[in-house]
Structure 1
Amino acid sequence: MSNYLNKRYRSAGLILFMLLMVVISYGQPGSRRTFNNDWQFYLGQTDESVHHATFKGEGWRNLSVPHDWSIELPFDKESPTGTGGGALRGGLGWYRKVFVLPEADKHKKHFIRFDGVYMNSEVYLNGHLLGVRPNGYIGFSYDMSPYLQYGQQKNILVVKVNNDKQPNSRWYSGSGIYRNVWLESSSGIRISEWGPYITTPGIRAGKAVIKIETPVHIDKPAGAIYRLRQRLFDAKGVQLLQSQNKFRATETTVNLQQELTVTRPVLWSDENPYLYKIVSEVIDDNNKIMDSYTTRTGIRSFYFDADKGFFLNGKATKLRGVCMHHDLGALGTAINTRAIERQLEILKAMGCNSIRTSHNPPAPELLDLCDKMGFLVMDEAFDMWAKKKTDYDYHLYWDQWHERDLRDHVLRDRNHPSVIMWSVGNEIIEQWGKDSSGAVILDKLVNIVKELDDRPAITANNEINTYNNLLKANITPLIGYNYSHKYWDSVHSRWGKKPFIVTESTSALQTRGSYDMPSDSIRRWPEAWDKPLTTGNTDTTCSAYDNCATPWGSTHEESLKLFQKYDHIGGMYVWTGFDYIGEPTPYPWPARSSYFGIVDLAGFPKDVYYLYQSTWTSQPVLHIFPHWNWTPGQTVDVWAYYNQADEVELYLNGQSLGIRKKQNDAMHVVWRVSYRPGILKAVSRKNGKIIKEALIQTAGEPAAISLSADRKQLQKNKNDLSFITVTIKDKKGNTVPLADNLVTFTLQGDAEIVGVDNGSQTSMESFKALHRKAFHGKCLVIVKAKNKTGLIKLTASAAGLPPATIELQVQ
């Protein structure tokens, strides 16, 4: 299909990049087990005796990985990471694991796989260096077999993590073995670590021909005969098809081609993410299964069109996307599947159907969940190339490592149905300059991608003028703009008839629950990207009215209007879905987290969340704001986001304040109201029929604590989480919008509190404390189940308020 992709773009109506393929997710080799438990950790310099079984160093502690040590440290104005990196220090860390393997495993090959270590990792086994990896986002594995000991002899695995040279990132990176670790074993013959590569040349007449390319590795090729069997199962586990080939093991690697034809396939989409399962098995002449690899498979087709945007399974589909950094709020960067799933659930309910992994390869669990939940993914590789953005970033390792890192990235992720394009660079410095180095690098990166996969490559460009070295080279099949919303309609006149994606948009700034009036006055903070903030609010807040944005960006509504208007915009990725640690634009210290998110760091939606929900979903929406606790006589702007209605009427204490209808392309309506305490009620109607009602009531003094868990049933797997929202309420049950009570938590049962947060971008409280101040009436506590089943009781207490308790059940 590469020849097809190389065809030039002849007309506006030409359909580009027809990509019809089956792709896999959840790929797992047959003999694989977690290697996350029973590690020791030390922060700081130590000596080489760490490699010895008799090591008795002080200051080490026992823990499990994934682990992020930076999130445990205090916020520090003097941190070399700067506030851009979240004001949390890095440092030098050591991980040590002692393990034994039975004598019976001596004939096997054993590999250690790390899904990600930030950064500059060195891995040693029994004093022998297995390898180094500078990139903190790339997974890697090492063959431990030459240095392993068996039986009663102990093996010492040591990982040195050097995140000491700062700054090396423009956002919060975290530090340590922050993704999962696996032990993989094989008996002399094994399927590739990435599993089979699965594609289809087309889906026609109710059929899909699945092509499966499977590399099989043989440690000692001796000409023995084996079979490679492929079995296809539907989502219910019923076997549908089977194919097998015989092959002779005469070389160290054998590449086998097979086909399966599926009749009436159920197509994978964002609305119906249907997954099949393929089990690949290598079988010897005694009918013994030597190795197996289980994958999940999604069948779908897509293409990009220069005039009409993105098509999924033949249907025009807007990529309603957000950019996401990799931290998980109070959990830092330590990966947790449930925490990612919660983020995606919140985004899905908003109407989001696409994720950009900004600006690095994501955790495998994110892509697995996108496959399962129906998100389309722009999978990004690099934030910089050979020219630096910070002093100690990846540019130091570019020449030696970029080709291998990109290959490993694409090989690992190319089989996910969720992945639809590869971003090979974000806001690359090589966009500018008189030399051609940027075009040379880009051409190489795009060719690497083409060699391994047929999905298109793109760069996210924050320079849209004709002197952009990357765009004028005409190398990528897709055009990507960051911001520059006033020029989205003229992209074809600048760069020709190519499909267009807004790779990054908006950069609006909001603090949940804070409002600056008049609401129709737009604040552009700071004045310019390279100038410090000279205005702003003394309490370091930004208005949640959607009237505050960066000078390079736009408000949410400004971007969304254009995205909805133009068919040629195939997708838009809002900066960002969630707030993240670091880059606290527009404020300096004591701000330490971003203001960009549609959802705050704790996972509480800001008001603009309902703008997207009213535009991107079919469910009835009516959301009015702000809160209704103000000074009598104060003029307050009341906004409403709504859909499925042609008007909204607002009432204050039963008296109508008038009917509003959206005018022209406006996406909200507004009333200017003289504040009086009481009940604010909105009613949306269509053709006179009530569609939805919304109510806000003036709150009294704090009188109670309310606890609400996103899940009350947990699994005893040490990683399952319950996110519990803490709300301060008055005696009538109304949320107190300005409450900032200090809430303390105690826990009974086999569980632990692993994080607290409140969504404030300037809170200096530790994410790992057992207390948290409410922020605008809310805070969050995260509880993780341990090993035992039974009842968990969380109690929340605050001075002057009766304690509240919630019960969880561990199964």
Structure 2
Amino acid sequence: MKKFFYILLLIAISIDGFAQPKSRETINFNKSWKFSFENNEKAITNQFNDANWRVLNLPHDWSIEGQFSEQHLSTTQGGALPTGLAWYRKSFSMPMTAQNKVVWIEFDGVYRNSEVWINGHYLGKRPSGYTSFRYGLSKFLKFGKEKNIIAVKVDNSEQPNSRWYTGSGIYRNVRLVITSQIAIDKWGVFATTPKVSQEEAEIKVEVNLLNRAKKNQVVDIQNIIVDSGGKVIVSEHTKNLSLKDSTGKYFQLLKIKKPQLWSIEKPYLYKVITKVFQQNHEIDVYESTLGIRFFNIETEKGFSLNGKPTKIQGVCMHHDLGALGAAVNVRAMERQLEILKAMGCNGIRTAHNPPAPEILDLCDKMGFIVMDEAFDMWKKRKSKKDYSSDWTAWHQKDLEDFIKRDRNHPSIFMWSIGNEIREQFDSTGITITKELAQIVKKLDNTRLVTSALTENVPDKNFIFQSGALDLLGFNYKHEGYTDFLKNFPNQKFIASETASALESRGRYEMPQENIQFSSRDVKTQTRNADWTTSAYDNVAAYWGTTHEEAWKAVKNAHFISGTYVWTGFDYLGEPHPYPWPARSSYFGIIDLAGFPKDVYYMYQSEWTEKPVLHLLPHWNWEKGKTVEVWAYYSQADEVELFLNDKSLGIRKKGVNDFHVKWSVNYEVGTLKAVSRKDGKIVLTEEVKTAGKAFKIKLSADRQSIKANGEDLSFIKVSIVDENGNLVPEANHLVNFSLEGVGSIVGVDNGYQASLEPFKANYRRAFNGLCLAIVQASEKVGKITLKASAEGLQSDTIMIETTK
């Protein structure tokens, strides 16, 4: 009987998944929220009836669930998807053992103008949709069996407030954090490396404590550094520290002999475990990532990492995940970075706002050099309802939280305080730049401060004239690179944004001799009937240039530390050069579905040491047409082209060439390229004339995924002929059906003017390809996806889910 009552006691103190609190407990708070577009202010009260509201798990982006529509043309730049206002509510219980604890709710990001209540008590408002924030819940909570209600109002109705797709809702992770009365503050540990060499590294650890005990305290602090396997490398324990006020700041210095250095090739990570004690009793523990590395940027020589000269080969990335929208999913982010890493990319610019923390975790683990960006505008607006209206009240708090949140990430090498800021054109830019740089340096003086500038003439650029930037970041205008050292003596440089080339995957127009620039006015833009642009690298936005021209300028300028190409992936919104019905960008090296465009292989041939040979275009044309054939290649001296085994000649790249080309009179058959080095074959690639579409072919990026309710398998759908050749212009409507322990959470095809919804069980192929994204449930088992289309043989693929 005693055992029975003991079990009941354990159940009573483990309500809604909360075990008895430890010194610090972090609880995933994403599950089982109620959601509604019903705008009823009574939703803040515990008595409100939300029985008819939708139940869902976070992160959640309601915009991506909507239909593309002309009704949303006020948000065309944002993707022409619905925005509006909505509410979230969650019911939960707190164990009695948490009564003497401090309870916080943490939001990684809510878009936009979020307001939060607990049990009817107002906690606050956060206008920015990109910042992370928290609220204290303790004094408003009910403990035991009584229910607590958290209510969140999200108002993204004022439009336009962005130049790209933002998403709407609680689209990043939420958690509860339970601590003792004395605990490490949020983002309260900061580890820096004041001295680093191959022989020894000094680690300075700053610990910020929060005292809610209402009286002076004495504490001990211990910092432990462990290696990637969890082995303790060094430990420092300081006793009898006085904590007199509500906060306290303390420092320790630790040393590691022969440290493993964090690098692009081997991003080695240590961990700092910080513990707080009172009377030998552990009252808090906090873990931080540590990467040990040193870097330098010189005026004449550019960037070096750990003493090794390194060109930053980066891309700019907006935060949306294609068909998944802005809702955070770690696997979707990881897939994007894997595709970029295989291309040779080693840098990410978080354009143009604080990213989700998970993308920075991945950059730490995978080895990317990050430019972490805070703002797209300051006090002067770019859109009618954007953050400029919140600037005066919120920019200091938002910037401080941004720096404190992200400063332990070794992947971050530079802070960007702005992108193409309009204050660069007048003297207000001097004052604001100095203020922002001072805020950054007060919180982190270990990294460089930059801003992405459009004006590369000193007299026209007041942000530069402030003298507050450590690194000058310039967007576009690559023709001016040759004058940088003369115009900006003793400065350091990064090409913060380059290219803005325009391509639709698999769409080929025979290249012209000159670059085709878009019109400044989309209404006068010459259009293709299907709203596509050519996949040859010969079309660019009027402010930019082609990928090849942009890279050539950076590659040949030794003083430019590197580049961040606009952009790595296509993204929702900014559908330049076309208006509606175009609804996503054309700038990506990779399309919205994650399929590489041809120029991907140009970068791969330049940015990696691997042999590359890529042939374009496809080989299905009308008889007698003159087709321009390009080949990207590397690790070879030459490429020979054959048509139906007849040589069409050998081509070799010049010093500043990135591809070779032939003009070929089309005939049905096989186009074959052979690359050679020292007379020996390196690689061979063939492109065959495809026959009539015959069947569907499915292939998954992973056929074994985790049964955690979040993991994804990205399934590529190819329309092929009887011999397995991709049919390059196939546009069949593909229908999907799924059985088993998962669901279809998104479909896409990479076509920038497709108006089909992302949340569906069908998708039309675009130039032979489309995509289905399958998500695991929390059950172990199998998922079977079937794809079918009228007139084609169907295909089936099986995905296994495991714990």
TM bin (shorter chain) = over 0.9
User: In 2, distance between residues paired with 1:586 and 1:58?
Assistant: 46
User: Within 1, Cα distance between the matches of 2:468 and 2:596?
Assistant: 39
Q: Amino acid of the residue matched to residue 43 of structure 1?
A: F
Matched, 1:457 2:444: no
**Equivalence for 1:473:** 466
- Aligned partner of 2:6 in structure 1 is none
Give the C-alpha shift of residue 102 in structure 1. Answer: 1.1
Alignment of 1:560 with 2:565, yes or no, is: no
State the distance in 2 between where 1:122 and 1:273 align.
39
What's 1:64 paired with? 57
Q: Give the superposition deviation at 1:44.
A: 4.2
Asked if residue 266 in structure 1 is aligned to residue 278 in structure 2, the reply is no
1:169 partnered with 2:146: no
Q: Give the equivalent residue in structure 1 for 2:705.
A: 714
Does 1 or 2 have the higher relative contact order (CA < 8 Å, sep 6+)? Answer: 1
Letter in 2 for 1:269: S
* In structure 1, distance between residues paired with 2:525 and 2:773: 37
What CA RMSD, in Å, does the superposition of the two structures yield over aligned residues? 1.4
Please tell me whether residue 76 in structure 1 is matched to residue 69 in structure 2: yes
Kindly provide the CA deviation profile for residues 272-303 of structure 1, in whole angstroms up to 9, marking residues without a partner as x.
10001111111221x33211111221100011
Separation in 2 of the partners of 1:662 and 1:532?
39
Shift of 1:221: 4.9
Write the distance in 2 (CA, Å) between the matches of 1:44 and 1:581.
Answer: 27
Spell out, residue by residue over 1:252-280, the C-alpha distance to the aligned partner (whole angstroms, 9 max, x if none): 22212112110000000111100011111
Structure 2 CA distance for aligned equivalents of residues 115 and 136 of structure 1:
9
Is 1:747 paired with 2:741? no
Match of 2:488 among 495, 516, 524: 495
| Structure 2 residue 415 is the aligned partner of structure 1 residue 426 | no
**Counterpart for residue 248 of structure 1:** 242
Alignment of 1:136-215 (within 5 A): 136-204=129-197, 206-215=199-208
Q: 1:486 aligns with which of 475, 479, 489?
A: 479
What amino acid does structure 1 have at the position aligned with 2:211?
I
Superposition pairs of residues 186-335 of structure 1, within 5 angstroms:
186-204=179-197, 206-246=199-239, 247-285=241-279, 287-335=280-328
In structure 1, what is the Cα distance between the partners aligned to 2:511 and 2:93?
67
Q: 2:430 aligns with which of 439, 454, 465?
A: 439
- Residue type of the partner of 1:790? G
The correspondence of residues 32-47 of structure 1 with structure 2, limited to 5 A, is 32-45=26-39, 47=40
Counterparts of 1:633-648 in structure 2 under 5 Å? 633-648=624-639
Q: Is the 8 A contact 2:64 2:167 kept in 1?
A: yes
Alignment partner of 2:391 out of 398, 402, 408: 398
CA distance in 1, matches of 2:655, 2:349: 31
> C-alpha distance in 1, partners of 2:721/2:783?
27
> Is contact 2:525–2:578 with CA below 8 Å preserved after alignment?
no
What SS class does the counterpart of residue 524 from structure 2 fall into?
A: coil
Structure 1 residue 802: deviation in Å? 2.1
2: distance between equivalents of 1:81 and 1:383?
19
1:110-140 C-alpha deviation (Å, 9 max, x unpaired): 0000000000000000111101000000000
- Whether the aligned pair in 2 keeps the contact of 1:759 and 1:775 (CA below 8 Å) is yes
Q: TM-score, normalising length from structure 2?
A: 0.95
1-structure distance, mates of 2:73, 2:669: 50
Measured against aligned partners, the alpha-carbon deviations of 1:45-102 in whole angstroms (never above 9, x if no partner) come to 2x23313334324752000110000011111113153321101121001000000111
How many angstroms apart in 2 are the aligned matches of 1:442 and 1:106?
Answer: 45
The answer on whether the counterparts of 1:29 and 1:293 sit within 8 Å (CA) in structure 2 is: no
For 2:617, the equivalent position in structure 1 comes to 626
The answer (yes or no) to whether the contact 1:519–1:545 under 8 Å persists in 2 is no
Report the AA paired with residue 377 of structure 1. Answer: V
CA-CA distance at 1:716 after TM superposition: 1.4
The unaligned stretches of length 5 or more in structure 1 are 1-27
Q: 8 Å contact 2:289–2:408 — kept in the other structure?
A: no
Preserved CA contact (<8 Å) 2:189 2:207: yes
Deviations, residues 605-628 of structure 1 (Å, cap 9, x unaligned): 000000000000000000000000
Task: After TM superposition, give the deviation of residue 204 of structure 1 in Å.
Answer: 3.5
For residues 278-330 of structure 1, the C-alpha deviation after alignment (integer angstroms, 9 at most, x for no partner) is 11111221x33211111221100011101100111011111101000000000
Partner of 1:599: 590
The alpha-carbon deviation at position 222 of structure 1 amounts to 4.0
**Corresponding position of 1:339:** 332
Deviates more, 1:220-229 or 1:460-469: 220-229
Structure 2 CA distance, aligned partners of 1:387 and 1:479? 21
- Counterpart of 2:786 (choices 779, 783, 795) is 795
In the alignment, does 2:719 pair up with 1:725? no
Q: Is the 8 A contact 1:325 1:357 kept in 2?
A: yes
Instruction: State whether residues 500 and 544 of structure 2, in contact with CA within 8 Å, keep that contact through their aligned partners in structure 1.
Output: yes
* Residue pair 1:533, 1:586 contacting (<8 A) in 2 also: no
* C-alpha distance in structure 2 between counterparts of 1:576 and 1:224, whole Å: 52
Does 1:764 find its partner at 2:738? no
Percent identical across equivalent pairs? 52
Distance in 2 of aligned mates of 1:509 and 1:366: 26
Letter in 2 for 1:259: L
State the aligned residue count. 778
From the superposition, tell whether residues 693 and 485 of structure 1 become closer, same or farther in structure 2 (CA, over 3 Å). Answer: same
Instruction: Write the distance in 1 (CA, Å) between the matches of 2:373 and 2:219.
Output: 38
Q: Structure 1 CA distance, aligned partners of 2:197 and 2:287?
A: 26
Equivalent position of 1:547 in the other structure: 538
Query: Displacement of 1:203 after TM fit?
Result: 1.4
Determine the C-alpha separation between the residues in 2 that align with 1:261 and 1:358.
36
Residues 622, 666 of structure 2: 8 Å contact kept: yes
Q: 2:42, 2:531 → 1: CA distance?
A: 48
2-side partners of 1:222 and 1:524: how far apart? 67
Aligned to 2:82: 89
Given the alignment, which residue of 677, 680, 700 partners 1:689? 680
For 1:349-360, list aligned pairs within 5 A.
349-360=342-353
Q: Which residue type is aligned with residue 682 of structure 2? A: I
Bigger mean CA deviation after superposition, 611-620 or 490-499: 490-499
What does the per-residue CA deviation read over 1:614-671, in whole Å, with 9 as the maximum and x for residues that have no partner? 0000000000000000001000000000011110000011110110111241110000
The CA distance in 1 between the partners of 2:161 and 2:304, in whole Å, is 38
Report how far residue 29 of structure 1 moved.
9.5
Measure, in 2, the Cα distance between the counterparts of 1:409 and 1:88: 28
The one-letter code of the counterpart of 2:35 is: F
Q: Compute the TM-score of the two structures, normalised by the length of structure 1.
A: 0.94
Q: State the partner residue of 2:10.
A: none
Contact 2:637–2:677 (Cα < 8 Å) also in 1: yes
* Residues 30 and 349 of structure 1, relative CA distance in 2, 3 Å threshold: farther
Rounded Cα–Cα distance in structure 2 between residues aligned with 1:587 and 1:205: 53
Distance 2:569 2:215 in 1: 55
Task: Describe the SS at the equivalent of 1:81.
Answer: helix
Q: Distance in 2 between matches of 1:775 and 1:535?
A: 22
User: Contact between 1:728 and 1:778, CA under 8 Å: does it hold in 2?
Assistant: yes
Counterparts of 2:711 and 2:50, CA distance in 1: 32
3-state SS in 1 of match to 2:117:
strand
**1:576-587 superposed matches below 5 A:** 576-587=567-578
Q: Could you tell me how far apart the structure 2 residues matched to 1:709 and 1:204 are?
A: 43
* Aligned-partner Cα distance in 2 for 1:502–1:317: 14
Determine helix, strand or coil for the equivalent of 1:82.
helix
Q: 1:383 aligns with which of 352, 376, 380?
A: 376
- In the alignment, what sits opposite 1:10? none
- Alpha-carbon separation, structure 1, partners of 2:52 and 2:418: 41
* Residue type of the alignment partner of 2:780: T
- Check the 8 A contact 1:29/1:294 in 2, yes or no: no
Contact 1:232–1:277 under 8 Å retained in 2: yes
